[in-house]
C-alpha cells in the first residue's frame, strides 16, 4: 500500500457496470478484504507496455489473481497510472478489466 497515492482511484470492470474504489483508505480496505479470501492469495503482473509522459507514468499488461496454491483463477488486462509526488511515483489510477482478453486466454 505504500505505493498508493492518497487520492488514488481503482476502476474494476467485472461487468457492464464498473465499480470504483476511491482514496487510500478504501483501496487499502478493499485489498485487505480480498486477501482474506482463500481464492485471492497473490497478484501476478506481466507488464507489456510502459511510458513516461510528463509527471505520469503509464504501465499496462495482464494481471492474474492466484489462489493460495498459485493456481490462476482470473486473468485480466490492467492499466496503472503513476503520478509523481515529490521524488517518487505513486499509484494514482488502476483499471482492471477482464473482458479485454481474446478468446485465446
Q: Between the CA of residue 77 and those of 20, 29, 69, 103, what are the distances in Å?
A: 16, 22, 22, 13
Over range 46-73, report the average pLDDT. 92
How many other CB atoms sit within 10 Å of the CB of residue 9? 18
So what CATH class is 4-99?
alpha beta
Over range 78-82, report the average pLDDT. 93
19-22 sheet: strands from edge to edge: 19-22, 4-12, 88-97, 72-85, 56-66, 42-53
| Res. 49: pLDDT tops 90 | yes
Over range 85-91, report the average pLDDT. 89
Give the pLDDT score at 102.
59
- The model's pTM is 0.75
Instruction: Please report the DSSP string for 7-45 in residue order.
Output: EEEEEE-SSSS-EEEEHHHHHHHHHHHHHTSTT--EEEE
What are the residues whose beta carbons fall under 8 Å from the beta carbon of 28, sequence distance 6 or more?
A: 1, 4
Domain boundaries, the chain: 4-99
For the ranges 20-24, 33-37, 59-63, 69-73, the lowest mean pLDDT is seen at 33-37
Amino acid at each position: 500500500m505504500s505505493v498508493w497515492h492518497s487520492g488514488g482511484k481503482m476502476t474494476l470492470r467485472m461487468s457492464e457496470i464498473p465499480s470504483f474504489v476511491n482514496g487510500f483508505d478504501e483501496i487499502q480496505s478493499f485489498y485487505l478484504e480480498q486477501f482474506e479470501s482463500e481464492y485471492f492469495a497473490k497478484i501476478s503482473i506481466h507488464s507489456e507496455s510502459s511510458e513516461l509522459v510528463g509527471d505520469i507514468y503509464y504501465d499496462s499488461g495482464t494481471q492474474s489473481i492466484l489462489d493460495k496454491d498459485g493456481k490462476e483463477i482470473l486473468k485480466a488486462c490492467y492499466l496503472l497510472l503513476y503520478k509523481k509526488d515529490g521524488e517518487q511515483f505513486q499509484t494514482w489510477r488502476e483499471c482492471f478489466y477482464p473482458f479485454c482478453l481474446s478468446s485465446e486466454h
